[in-house]
Homo-oligomer: A and B are copies of this chain.
Amino acid sequence: MSLLTIGTVAFDSIETPYGKVEKVIGGACTYISWSASYFMNDIHLVSIVGEDFPKDELAALEQRGVNLDGLEIVKGGKSFFWAGKYHNNMNSRDTLATDLNVLADFNPILPEKAKSCEYVMLGNLTPSIQAQVLDQLDGSQKLIALDTMNFWMDIAMDELKAVIARVDLLTINDEEARQLSGEHSLVQAAEIILAMGPKYLVIKKGEHGALMFFEGKMFFAPALPLAEVFDPTGAGDTFAGGMMGYLAMTDEISFENMKRALIAGSAMASYCVEDFSLNRLKTLDKAQVITRIEAFKKLMDFDFPLDF
C-alpha cells in the first residue's frame, strides 16, 4: 500500500543537556517519512522547502522510496526553521525561534498519485491546510490520521474540530487531549474526543508511553526506558511514521493490528531520541527495528494464571 504524508520539511537548531546542533535537518514530514520507510517504500511526501534545503537530503529520501513530486522547492526561498532548548529533565523546552519562511505561503497541491494513497498521515500544520489536503483526496483512502498541537487549539479550535471530524485516527499528547476535551481524566477525555469523529485516538505521553482508545477498549504502549535520551525532537513524528508505515505495510485496520502499529511506532521513536536530528534513524536496518520491537515484547510480556 502507499502512504501520503504531509507536514514540514525544515531546519532545526537544538540544545539539550547533551550538546548543541545548528541548522540540522528536521520537520514532521521528514521524520514521518524516514520512520515509515523501514516498513514500506511507496511514500508520497507533500511539503515545501526553500532553495537552501540540501539536495543530498532529498536524494537520501528518494533512495528510501519517498516520492518527492509533491515537494515544492521555492526558488530563492528559505526553508522553515525552528530553534529550541530543552531543560535538564528533557520534559519541557523553550522555543527560541520559529521562522515560517516559505511555509507562510504553503498551498499544497497533491500530485495525481498522491490523491489515491490508501494511508494518509497529516502532520501538524494549520488545520485549514490539513483540510485543503483532505479536499484533494479521491475518497479511496483506508485510514487517515491527523496530528496536531495545543497552538491550534488556542487560535483555531473550530477549524481544528472540523478537520478532526473528517479523520479516522487522531494523535495528540495528554495535555492536548485535556485541552481539546476539557476533561482531566484521559479516559473521560477520550470518550469526548472519539465523539468528535475519529474511530481511534492515540494519546502520546512522551517518556510515559502512549494510550490508544477504540470502541471502549484501551491499549497501552510504554516508552522504552533508555540509559540516555539525547534529543527528543521528532520523537512524536517518528512514532506516527512508524505506526502509519506499519499499517500501510500490513494493510489491516483492526484493533489488534493498531496495537502492533503502536509498538512499531514506539520502537522507532526509541531510536529517534538516541541522537540529534535524523542521525540515528538514518543508520538503522531492519534487524535493529526487529530487535527493538522484541525489547518491547520483553518489557510488557507476562502470563497470569487466574485460578488462584
Contact = CB atoms under 8 A, between A and B. Distances in A.
Given A229-B185, A260-B302, A294-B306, A208 B205 contact: yes
Contact of A208 (B208, B259, B299): B208
A3 to B, nearest CB: 15
A182 interface: no
A128 interface: no
Q: How large is the interface on A (under 10, 10 to 19, 20 to 34, 35 or more residues)?
A: 35 or more
Contacts of A184: 88-89
Interface string A163-186: 000000000000000000000111
A34 interface: no
Given A222-B209, A300-B300, A308 B250 contact: yes
B208 A302 contact: no
Chain copies in complex: 2
Interface string A211-227: 10000011110100111
Contact of A185 (B186, B228, B260): B228
Interface in A290-308: 290, 293-294, 296-300, 302-304, 306, 308
Q: Shortest 5 CB-CB distances between A and B: which pairs? A: A259-B302, A208-B208, A187-B227, A220-B222, A187-B225
28 contacts: A39-B308, A88-B184, A185-B225, A185-B226, A185-B227, A186-B225, A187-B226, A187-B227, A188-B228, A208-B209, A211-B225, A218-B299, A219-B299, A219-B300, A219-B302, A220-B225, A220-B299, A220-B300, A222-B222, A249-B308, A250-B308, A256-B303, A260-B303, A260-B304, A290-B306, A293-B306, A296-B304, A300-B300
Interface of A: 39, 88-89, 184-188, 205, 208-209, 211, 217-220, 222, 225-229, 249-250, 256, 259-260, 263, 290, 293-294, 296-300, 302-304, 306, 308
